[in-house]
């Protein structure tokens, strides 16, 4: 289990998180949802160890995150941020293999590139790719990193579908479900609630730095909850196994 509990984060005189928490379970997909500025990315960064909270704690497999070296933590979890800047003219394969070595590295790189539909770009210069292609290469990179560690590993994804076309958005959802089936604990931030409902075993909705609701997609995606969290009137339906919603109008 990978947990953050009673997290408080303040910056610039603002409270970004207040008493927030989340638990990521091996073999399950947890999705963070909520409006812009709700604290989703901040909570993910606290989990990742990038932000030290003012209050609260983070533990991974029973170990306090503060006691782990960056090298040890990197073998236990991998993080895909919203954007990654690559300053040097690396190839796609070199970006995916960053930080790793060994005789089987190219085979590992090819396997993860295939999983994100980028194997044909193996030797392509990274800086010649589109934004969506770069995002898929970075996803392959964190998958390769995760494969170097000791299971169960954890994968933290910050808006992994943001720059992707529809087919590859669905690929990310399918991949998240596959990874959970392999025993990996997945946490993802998703803005598209319909994709979130397809991906998630568990959803956590944040609003104003607090956990507003948590539960299964069926429990979170109700007309009442969506209006309370997002200020949007909606109508939730089912097709066929997960709820979906159509926005109706802004709350007065």
72 and 8 co-located in one domain:
yes
Q: How many domains does the chain have?
A: 2
Last residue of a domain, one of 122, 148, 174: 148
Q: Answer yes or no: is 49 within a domain.
A: yes
10-residue mean pLDDT profile of the chain (252 residues): values are: 96 94 97 96 96 95 94 93 87 92 89 96 95 95 86 92 93 95 96 93 96 94 91 80 68 45
Domain containing residue 204: CATH number = 3.40.50.300
159 and 136 co-located in one domain:
no
Q: What is the pLDDT of residue 235?
A: 81
- What is the CA angle 151-152-157, rounded to 5? 110
Q: What is the pLDDT of residue 151?
A: 75
Q: Answer yes or no: is 129 within a domain.
A: yes
Q: Answer yes or no: is 251 within a domain.
A: no
What share of residues in the chain are helix, strand, coil (percent, to 5)? Answer: 35, 30, 35
Tokens of 72: 């040890």
Q: What is the pLDDT of residue 87?
A: 80
Q: Are 161 and 172 in contact (CB under 8 A)?
A: yes
Q: What is the pLDDT of residue 225?
A: 92
Q: Answer yes or no: is 225 within a domain.
A: no
139 and 157 co-located in one domain:
no
Q: How many CB atoms lie within 10 A of CB 189?
A: 23
Q: Answer yes or no: is 244 within a domain.
A: no
62 and 180 co-located in one domain:
yes
43 and 161 co-located in one domain:
yes
Q: How far apart (Å, rounded) are the C-alpha atoms in residues 140 and 84? A: 13
Give the domain range for residue 96: 84-148
Last residue of a domain, one of 130, 148, 166: 148
94 and 71 co-located in one domain:
no
Q: What is the pTM of this model?
A: 0.91
Q: Answer yes or no: is 54 within a domain.
A: yes
157 and 105 co-located in one domain:
no
Q: How many helices (DSSP H) and strands (DSSP E) are in the chain?
A: 9, 12
Q: What is the pLDDT of residue 251?
A: 47
Q: How many CB atoms lie within 10 A of CB 13?
A: 5
Q: Are 221 and 193 in contact (CB under 8 A)?
A: yes
CA within 13 Å, CB half, 175: 23
Q: Answer yes or no: is 234 within a domain.
A: no
Q: What is the pLDDT of residue 252?
A: 43
């Amino acid at each position: 289990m990978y947990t953050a509990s009673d997290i408080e984060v303040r910056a610039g005189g603002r409270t970004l998180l207040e008493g927030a928490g989340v638990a990521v379970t091996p073999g399950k997909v947890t999705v963070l949802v909520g409006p812009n500025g709700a604290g989703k990315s901040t909570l993910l960064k606290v989990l990742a160890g990038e932000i030290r909270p003012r209050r609260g704690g983070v533990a991974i497999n029973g170990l306090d995150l503060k006691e782990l070296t960056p090298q040890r933590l990197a073998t236990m979890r991998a993080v895909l941020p919203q954007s990654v800047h690559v300053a040097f003219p690396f190839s796609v394969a070199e970006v995916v293999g960053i930080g790793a070595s060994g005789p089987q590295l190219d085979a590992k790189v090819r396997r993860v590139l295939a999983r994100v539909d980028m194997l044909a770009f193996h030797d392509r210069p990274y800086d010649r790719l589109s934004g969506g292609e770069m995002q898929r290469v970075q996803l392959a990179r964190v998958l390769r990193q995760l494969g170097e560690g000791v299971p169960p590993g954890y994968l933290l994804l910050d808006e992994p579908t943001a720059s992707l076309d529809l087919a590859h958005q669905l690929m990310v959802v399918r991949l998240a479900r596959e990874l959970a089936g392999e025993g990996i604990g997945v946490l993802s931030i998703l803005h598209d609630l319909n994709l979130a409902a397809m991906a998630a075993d568990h959803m956590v909705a944040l609003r104003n730095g607090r956990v507003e609701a948590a539960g299964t997609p069926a429990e979170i995606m109700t007309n009442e909850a969506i209006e309370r969290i997002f200020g949007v009137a909606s109508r939730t339906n089912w097709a066929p196994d997960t709820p979906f919603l159509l926005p109706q109008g802004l709350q007065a």
